[in-house]
A and B are shown apart, each in its own frame.
Chain A
Amino acid sequence: MAHEQHTPALHGIMAEFDTPTALVEATTRARLHGFRNMDAYTPIPIEELNEALGLRRTRLPRLVLLGGILGGLGGFGLEYWASTMAYPMNVGGRPLNSWPHFIPVMFETTVLGAALTCFVGMWALNKLPQPYHPVFNVPAFDRASTDRFFLCIEATDPRFDAATTRAFLQTLHPVGVSDVAP
């Protein structure tokens, strides 16, 4: 512990890999080694990482369902209120609440509610937009959006210790290991 006081504060330590397979294997091993606060950075979505990192299923689908239901009810509510209360008008003797006519708009507001929830919800859960993040301090990280795969073990992990974590990452056959300034 005393030893950690000397080293400058870190966001974490990051290892760079050149294939998705190497990254998934390294992540699995890091997790087996007991690390939990870590994240992988990849240029393509890799489904296997969800398991390797132990990610839980996202609650986005439930939010989207809720958004859709609210959109639909809101749409129908608007139509019902506008056609029966705010501005009742007899159109060809139809009832004021001629609900079959209200279905198309209700359908569209359902879709709109779901889609807006999906869009806003995904970015909000991801906490984006985010102007600054420490991982961008690593010069090699420029390639995270092209052809390199990164695993970052964060300093918040209970098992994190700069020297031993660095040594552990070296055992995973990375292309390189670098400290991530906060």
Chain B
Amino acid sequence: MAAKEHVPDSGLDAGMLRTPPVIAPGHTFNSVTNTISAVVLTKRTTIGWFFGFAVAFALLMLMNFTIGKLLLTGIGIWGNNVPVGWAFDIINFVWWIGIGHAGTLISAILLLFRQQWRTSINRFAEAMTLFAVACAAMFPLLHTGRPWLAIYWLFPYPNTMGLWPQFRSPLIWDVFAVSTYGTVSALFWFTGLVPDLATLRDKATSKVSRTIFGILSLGWRGSARHWQRYEMSYLLLAGISTPLVLSVHSVVSFDFAVSVLPGWHATIFPPYYVAGAIYSGFAMVMTLAVPLRKYYGLEDFITMRHIHNMTKVMLATGMIVAYGYANEAFFAWYSANPYEGYMMLNRMTGPYAVFYWSLIAINAAMIQLFWFRKVRDNVTLLFILSLFVNLGMWLERFIIIVTSLHRDFLPSSWDMYYPTRWDFAMFAGTIGLFFSLFFLFVRFLPAIAIFEMRTIVPEAKLKEHHG
């Protein structure tokens, strides 16, 4: 009898083990609020934080130095040449913008789909989006060489030359898409922060932090009338951001797809780019989440459920990306177009073949590991694999951009592209910018949305009232 009774019980336990909870049991309004706000308000800043910030800040200074050198000398310090006129600038631009996409997916699309697990990762993923867009914007701006002169063909404003931007160009679409994306992400992020800033204002003990958080929280007092409009605006912003995020990487892919170069002129580009963006973005969220939850003791909030789900999203979008590679290869053959065929042959066997096969090894082969539960449970391994995914997606952009450009239609204009140390300095510099901002963010702002976490503790549930 007893054994029989235990069978469904143990089955239930196994089921519960299969899907870990989105928040560890036993949490209350107070414990959630205190744990997250303590990172900002009371915990001592660790040596590890200072060390990490110092490394990131040093790289940021390298970026500033590189920009100074670039503005004084010109973009000749880069390896760009004719025919590879777009090199690290567009590779890194697309890479960074893509990383940003996961933040919006988590904060907007998963909100619309009522995915509760988004709650504890949306805040820092949105911050990641903002910082990634900032890094991305560096490249096209600096590629102009003299950014202060470039404004008139990027933005429509009445200038003394009477010139207006060319609205038929995908590059102008890109300017609008990325600047809108950056703006909307910032609005969304700040809107989400306000109630938490009010919490920090009320919890802060020092006068300085009370004043700063007081100003930033706009006098938020949690009024029911305010919450009603607030929730509506949050939902509306999510609804607005959803088509926006899909449009941004589609527009980025138009930069290529609208041209006539083999390897670029393909209708699969927009969906393939969007999938790649989400894939690389989730890899970056993983890269950030694993140390964040470990070093700040946030394992109760960023649980194995989040880790599992992020891995599954990476697997799904990674497979779409792999399908994109297969599709490219298939159409290179099926189109019977000699230029397309040569492009594919050159990718597979040409001078950059090692990068092509590395990206296939990562984005098509390595991600198959995510099918295994053992892998999904191993956080350290996932962290390492997520770094590889970031690398793989960077290689994908390198391959798409460089192999199509360096062998164009006229063999007389063929050339090789080699990045210079300044290219690498600039790239490393934006990584420094990204991590400097991220380190400051986790130190001075709540990295997890406190009020949203409060809504998922058991206390928040209204009890049935009689009558």
Binding site for B on A (CB under 8 A): 19-21, 24-25, 39-50, 53, 55, 58, 60-61, 64, 68, 78-79, 82-83, 86-87, 89, 91, 94, 98, 101-102, 104-105, 107-109, 111-112, 114-116, 118-119, 121-123, 125-126, 128-133, 135-136, 141-147
What 0/1 pattern do residues 147 to 184 of B give for CB contact below 8 A with A? 00000000010000011111110101100110010011
Which residue of A is nearest B464, CB measured?
Answer: A21
Main secondary structure of the interface of B (DSSP, over half): helix
Chain A, residue nearest B201 (CB):
A145
B463 at the interface (CB under 8 A from A): yes
Q: Are A58 and B228 in contact (CB under 8 A)?
A: yes
With the chains together, A142 CA to B167 CA distance in Å?
52
CA A64 – CA B227 in complex, angstroms?
Answer: 17
What's the Cα separation between A143 and B37 when bound, in Å? Answer: 14
Kindly list chain A residues whose C-beta atoms are within 8 Å of the C-beta of B172: 105
**Are A129 and B218 interface neighbours, CB within 8 A?**
yes
Task: Give complex CA distance A147, B34 in Å.
Answer: 11
Chain A: which residue is nearest B226 at the CB level?
A126
B187 near A116 (CB under 8 angstroms)?
Answer: yes
CA distance A107 to B228 in the complex (A): 28
19 example contacts (A-B, Cβ-Cβ < 8 A) are as follows: A21-B463, A25-B465, A40-B224, A43-B451, A43-B454, A53-B224, A53-B225, A82-B164, A83-B168, A89-B166, A104-B251, A104-B254, A111-B243, A114-B240, A136-B221, A144-B202, A145-B198, A146-B203, A147-B30
B199 within 8 A of A: yes
Question: Are A78 and B462 in contact, with the CB atoms below 8 A?
Answer: no
Say yes or no for B28: interface residue by CB 8 A criterion: yes
Q: Which of A91, A114, A126 contacts B230 (CB 8 A)?
A: A126
- A101 and B167 contacting across the interface, CB-CB below 8 Å: yes
Contact (Cβ within 8 A) A41 B30: no
A41 engages B222 (CB within 8 Å): yes
Q: How far is the CB of B219 from chain A (nearest CB, A)?
A: 4
Q: How far is the CB of B180 from chain A (nearest CB, A)?
A: 4
- Overall SS of chain A's interface: helix
Residues of B within 8 A of A79 (CB): 167
Nearest CB in chain A: distance from B453 CB, A: 10
Contact A101 B168 (CB under 8 A): yes
Chain B 444-465: CB-based contact to A (< 8 A → 1; otherwise 0): 0000000100110001101101
B229 in the interface (beta carbon within 8 A)? yes
A150→B284 CA distance, assembly (Å) = 41
A21 close to B229 (CB less than 8 A): no
Report A-chain residues with C-beta under 8 Å of the C-beta of B82. Answer: none
Q: A21, A98, A142: which contacts B465 (Cβ < 8 A)?
A: A21
Asked if B98 is at the interface (CB within 8 A of a chain A CB), the reply is no
Task: List chain A residues, Cβ under 8 A from B168.
Answer: 83, 91, 94, 98, 101
In contact, B459 and A115 (Cβ under 8 angstroms): no
| Interface stretch of the complex, out of B48-56, B231-239, B358-366, B368-376 | B231-239
Q: Tell me the complex Cα distance, A126–B223, Å.
A: 9
Top-5 shortest CB links A-B: A147-B29, A122-B233, A129-B218, A82-B164, A104-B173
